[in-house]
Structure formats: C-alpha cells, structure tokens
Structure 1
Amino acid sequence: MSGVARVRCDQLAPALGDVAANVEGIVAAVGRALDDGVDVLVLPELATSGYVFRDRTEAAAAAITTEHALFRRVTERLHGTTTVVVLGFCERDGDVLRNSVAVVDASGVRSVYRKTHLWDREALVFEPGDDAPPVVTTAHGRIGVLVCYDMEFPEMPRMLALAGADLVAVPTNWPVGAHPERDRVAEVIAAQAAARGNGVFVACCDRAGTERGQDWNEASVIVDQFGWVVAEAPRGTGATTVTADVFPTLARDKSTSPHNDWLRDRRPTIYAREVPQA
C-alpha cells in the first residue's frame, strides 16, 4: 500500500432519467481520473439517473443493477490499475428501488451500500437500506461509504471509524439552502465535524446542474483527518473536479495529544445511560 493517495471528487451534472448519457459521463470521468493519476475517484449520488423524480414509476425506468454494462465498462477501464471508483446509482433491488453506492476496482464491484437515511421526497421513491455501511480494504487504504443525508447522523461516520476506515467517501446531492455568506454550507461543516470527531479523511462529491428548478450547492470537498478542508469546489462553479493528495493511513493514528485519543477516550457506557432530568 502506497502512503499517498490522490483523491478526486468529480462534480458531474447527471441528466434526469437519461441513463445512457449518464453512463457515458461516468466512463469519461473515470478516463480523466486515470489520465491524471487519481487513486480514489468519488462521483455524485445517483450519478446514473439524476435525482428529482416525480414518482417511483419514473425512477424505476432509470433503475439498474450491478449487472448493467456500466459496471463492466468501469471495471475494464480500471484494468491494470489500483484506482478505486465510488459512484452513486439508482438501483433496482428485486421489487424495490434503492439509492445506492458501488465501490468498484479492477476486480469488479467490491461492495454495494444502500442509503439508510432518506431525505425528504426520497422516501416516496426509495426503500432505505438496513445494512451497516461497509469498509472496503483497497490499495489506498480502508474506504468507508455513506450517502449524503447519512452524514447528518454522527453515528454513521463513527461506525466507520470504529470499523477502521481511513477515508469516508460520500456521494451527495446537496440542494441549495439559505446560509450565511460568511460560512461554508452546513453540509460541508458537517463533513468537517465528522472528520475531526473521528480522525478520518472525508471526501464528499456533490453534483452540478439544475433539475426541475432544483439547484445544488456544488460544494464538493475533501477534508483531512483533523477536520481541515484541503480542497473544495468554489460555490457556483458547476461541473468541476476537486483533487487532493492525502495520506489516508495517517487516520490510523487517533492521538490528539500525548494523553488523548479520539476513539480510546470514548466512554460508551456513560453515553448509554439515561439523562437525569433536574
């Protein structure tokens, strides 16, 4: 395992319902990443389908499985490399639809994670996953996976940190919302807090474009294990890439002072106690 890993978030603009066009965009993004020596490529949530579906029927028309040619094509492009691709897709899982993420390398699809916390109207389209998020061992460290709103629940990145994740890859679709101009958007602040509180690197890949009047933060970000932003997309940039060279395995050292450690200092038995009401 090499020490340094070039991590990239490619902030694509998927076309709603146009799976064929989106597949070409994903394959092109993989090609660009390989040309630029990227080791870990993170793509947006629902990169294969777009996001603002009217209903489940419309989403079903854009749903795919891991048997889709996309995954074969990505695997073929990765042949002979150690590059890892984390991409969001609209998954047909038997009779239900999932907001899912696949981790792919030269050996094929390594893992699939189904988003467990659905945001707003997603609950009208998708079924939430019931499995814990995975940690995938790769040539560039141990990669944990979450999706967008999952990051709002501190238990999720904590689970991954406790399971040994070095880097948490988060495909997202962050809708624009009001926030003070002096600050980064709240979702990026949440990513910084998750990184700092768990001593892990975090890479969140947002999306670009407008769907049915919905705009996005376009705020892809890479955060180091201390919670500092090391690379980010300037707001309003549109489709762009965010790339940083990081050392994921540094996340295995959780010490914060000669006497402190992010994970060792936890006191779970206290956290489980009932809070007294005064």
Structure 2
Amino acid sequence: MTTELRAAALEVGVRLGDVDGNLERLRSALERGAASGAHLLVLPELATSGYVFDDAAEAAQAAVTRDDPRFDALRAALPEGVVAVFGYLERDGDRLYNSAVVITRDATIGQYRKAHLWDREREIFDVGDTAGAVFDTAVGRLGVAICYDNEFPEVPRALALAGADVLALPVNWPLVPRPDGEHAPEIIQAMGSARSSRLPTVIADRAGSERGVRWTGGTVVIDGDGWIAAVPDDGIAVADLRLSPGDKSLNPRNDLFGDRRPDLY
C-alpha cells in the first residue's frame, strides 16, 4: 500500500559553542517546519553545538547528555504525529559522540551514534557501534544515518533491507570543488542510493561558513526514484513523498530486492 508523507529539511543558523542559542534556533525551525504541514522534520548534524572545534576539550564544553532537559522544549514545539530528527554533540561519561536523536511531542523514539567519522572527527568523537539505525515511528519505519555514513553504499542499502521506508540524514558537508552546473557529489551519491533502494531521503545541511570551513548548502529532499523533489526556499525544503512499505516491485517481472543475487557478490 502506498502512503504519502510530507517531509521537510531545514537549514539552521548554528553558532559554534552556543548551545542555548542553538537550541532556541532549533525550536524555531521545528515550529516553522510543523507549520508547513510536514510530519517528518530533519535538521543538520551537530545542530546543538556547531562542528569546527579545535579539539576534544573545546567540543566537550558544548556537549550535552542524551537526556538533557532542554530537549523538552524541542519536543513541546512539535504537534502530535510529527517526528523530528536532529544531530547533537553527545557526552556519555568521558566520551563524546556525533549523534542524532529522533523525537516526537511525547517521547524520544531513539538515538544513533555516527559510525563513519570524517577527517578530524576522529580526534574528537568515539565511533558508534551500528551503521545507521531504523526506528518505528508515526510516519513509518525511519532510517537514520549521519553525513559521511551515507557515502558508504552499504549503509542506505542495509537500512532499506532492514525495512526503512524513508531515510533522515543530518549532515555538515564541507564545500568541495565541482564542475560548473553539477550537483554536489554528496547529493549525487544520495540520489543514486535513494534510487537503488527506492528509499526517499531527507537531507538537512549547513549553509554559510564556520571557522573558515564553507558549507555546501546541500539541504534537499530526494524522492524514491532518486530525483530531487525539493530544495530550500528561504531555509526550508518541503516535499510530498510516496512511501510503499515493503514494496520494491519495479514492474510485473522485476523486484528490486527480490532480484538481488548476493550469492554472486
């Protein structure tokens, strides 16, 4: 059975180290996303803290625990039936993680710790012990990964095989050179992954710059055919996505998952 999901990916003006200010900006973004009628809201990686820290000691000053009471205000900003995903800098004892949380008005549905660390992230964060995660939510089975995770094709494919209906992807994509007129390479990879698993993907990226790092501004919603369904308009990208839980049929003779030959590869 095919269902429709309105999803929104939101840019947020994150400021490095300003946890209270970032939480307030996240709250405002969630309210704006909910006002669009979207039932899935995705916000960037490390949205509570910023990204370009000098070292682990500086990052620790902007870390929060997964049960931080300030998250209550974010949940309160969500109407019933709306699911939100955002990245945060998690402190667990002496360890720091690049994490994402899935919340609703009434509960925290789940947490995910990034498994594939990019560049100097290795100097700051411990690695997660799963490559993405899938959560049962009011909008369907929601896959969650973070940024560099998605550049490993095995990750979105494994999430789709695990039953994910849609993928939420908080990112901080540093701007890299590309030919004129081309999409960012990370967007191209996400489009290919979405198409190869018929997995709609909602990506929230940073815009602007932080400590000399320019962000790609790659916020985008990709549909299950791998096409771009929405790009930001004044900081928010909204699209209506078709979800077909458990159905990977392409035509009467072909099924995307049924035709796989894992014995050959």
TM, length-normalised to structure 2? 0.96
Aligned to 2:250: 256
Matching of residues 210-229 of structure 1 within 5 Å: 210-229=209-228
Aligned to 1:275: none
Aligned to 1:94: 93
1:22 paired to 2:22? yes
Aligned residues: 265
Pairwise CA distance, 1:260: 1.3
Aligned to 2:35: 35
What CA distance in whole angstroms lies between the structure 2 residues aligned with 1:264 and 1:4?
Answer: 24
Partner residue of 2:239 out of 235, 244, 249:
244
What CA distance in whole angstroms lies between the structure 2 residues aligned with 1:202 and 1:176?
Answer: 20
What CA distance in whole angstroms lies between the structure 2 residues aligned with 1:24 and 1:68?
Answer: 14
Name the SS for the 1:157 alignment partner. helix
Which whole-Å deviations, capped at 9, do the CAs of 1:130-180 have from their partners, x for residues lacking one?
A: 124221122212110000000000110011101111100000001001001
Does the aligned pair in 2 maintain the 1:72–1:108 contact within 8 Å? Answer: no
Aligned to 1:170: 169
What CA distance in whole angstroms lies between the structure 2 residues aligned with 1:82 and 1:70?
Answer: 21
Matching of residues 20-99 of structure 1 within 5 Å: 20-78=20-78, 81-99=80-98
Which whole-Å deviations, capped at 9, do the CAs of 1:221-276 have from their partners, x for residues lacking one?
A: 11111111111238xxxx7111111122x2532112321111111111221xxxxx
Structure 1 residue runs without a partner (length 5+): 272-278
What CA distance in whole angstroms lies between the structure 1 residues aligned with 2:18 and 2:102?
Answer: 22
1:266 paired to 2:260? yes
What CA distance in whole angstroms lies between the structure 2 residues aligned with 1:132 and 1:105?
Answer: 23
What CA distance in whole angstroms lies between the structure 2 residues aligned with 1:179 and 1:233?
Answer: 20
User: What is the alpha-carbon root mean square deviation over aligned residues?
Assistant: 1.6
Does the aligned pair in 2 maintain the 1:71–1:109 contact within 8 Å? Answer: no
Pairwise CA distance, 1:70: 2.9
The structure-2 alpha-carbon separation of the partners of 1:195 and 1:2, relative to structure 1 and needing over 3 Å to count, comes to closer
Aligned to 2:3: 3
1:196 is matched by which residue type in structure 2? R
What CA distance in whole angstroms lies between the structure 1 residues aligned with 2:149 and 2:131?
Answer: 11
1:112 paired to 2:107? no
Name the SS for the 1:97 alignment partner. strand
TM, length-normalised to structure 1? 0.91
Matching of residues 110-259 of structure 1 within 5 Å: 110-233=109-232, 240-248=235-243, 250=244, 252-259=246-253
Does the aligned pair in 1 maintain the 2:131–2:149 contact within 8 Å? Answer: no
Which whole-Å deviations, capped at 9, do the CAs of 1:66-94 have from their partners, x for residues lacking one?
A: 2213321122222x510000000000022
2:180 is matched by which residue type in structure 1? E
2:157 is matched by which residue type in structure 1? R
What CA distance in whole angstroms lies between the structure 1 residues aligned with 2:43 and 2:70?
Answer: 14
What CA distance in whole angstroms lies between the structure 2 residues aligned with 1:47 and 1:228?
Answer: 26
What CA distance in whole angstroms lies between the structure 1 residues aligned with 2:251 and 2:13?
Answer: 42
Does the aligned pair in 2 maintain the 1:2–1:139 contact within 8 Å? Answer: no
What CA distance in whole angstroms lies between the structure 2 residues aligned with 1:183 and 1:131?
Answer: 32
